[in-house]
Amino acid sequence: MPKTCVSVKPTGRKKTNAKACCNICLEDKYKRRMARLECGHHYCKSCIKKWAKHQNTCPQCRARFTHVGNKQVKETNQEETDQGGWDDETIRETMEIIIHWINHDNYKTHVFEEIVLGSVYHIHLLNRIIAGLEYFRHIVPRHIAHIFDMERRIIDMRL
C-alpha cells in the first residue's frame, strides 16, 4: 500500500502554506518552534522530539529520520507497540476523528471537497487520519485493522 502525504496547492482562496501547522498537534507553526525532518515534513520541535523517543520514522510517510533539525536522534526499535510519542489526549482525539471518518460518508466527502478548495486545516486533518490509521492498525484486533486498511485504500483512491 503506498504511503501518501496530502499536499495541495490552494486555489481560489487566500494563499496559505500546507506546512503552516504541526500534523501531530495541529498547532499553528507561528505559535510553536518547528523542526523539518529529512523527508521534508514539518512538526513542532516538542512534538517530534517526543515522537523520536519511541519512533524514528516520520508520522506521515514513515520515512526513517536520523536528525530533528540539526540534532541527531538515536535509533529506536520500530517493533514496539507503545504510544509512538502520542500522549493519551492525542490518541483519544485521533481515535474519535477516525471513528467519525469511518461512520460518516458525508464527512469524508466534505473533507475531500475542502482539500480540493485548498483548505490547509483539512489537509492536515486528513494527514492526521492517515497517521492514525497507520498507528492504530497495529494495535487493534485483525478484523478492525482490516477496516482501517479499507479506509486507507479509499483515501489513496481519492487522492
- Walk me through the domains of the chain, giving residue ranges and CATH numbers: 20-78 (3.30.40.10), 87-159 (no CATH)
Convert the pLDDT of each residue in 75-122 to its tens digit. 665 444 445 567 788 888 998 999 999 999 999 999 999 999 989 899
In the chain, how long is the greatest CA-to-CA distance?
Answer: 44
Band the pLDDT of 144: cuts 50, 70, 90.
confident
Res 30: pLDDT: 58
Lowest mean pLDDT among 30-34, 67-71, 137-141: 30-34
Q: Does residue 131 register a pLDDT over 60?
A: yes
pLDDT in tens, 60-72: 877 888 877 777 7
> Nearest to residue 67, comparing CAs of 37, 105, 108, 41?
37
> Percentage of the chain with pLDDT > 70?
76
Q: What is the mean pLDDT of residues 32-53?
A: 80
Sign of the CA dihedral running 82, 85, 91, 94: negative
Q: Which residues of 116-140 are buried (b: 16+ CB within 10 A; e: fewer)?
A: eebbbebbbbbbbbbbbbbbbbeee
**pLDDT of 29:** 61
Residue with cell 538515536: 74
By the 8 A CB rule, do 34 and 42 touch? yes
DSSP 28: B
First to last CA, the chain: 13
Give the mean pLDDT of 3-20.
44
Q: What percent of the chain has pLDDT over 90?
A: 16
Task: Please report the pLDDT score of residue 66 as a whole number.
Answer: 83
- pLDDT (0 to 100) of residue 85: 63
Q: Output 74 or 124, whichever has higher pLDDT.
A: 124
Query: 123 is written with which cell numbers?
Result: 489537509
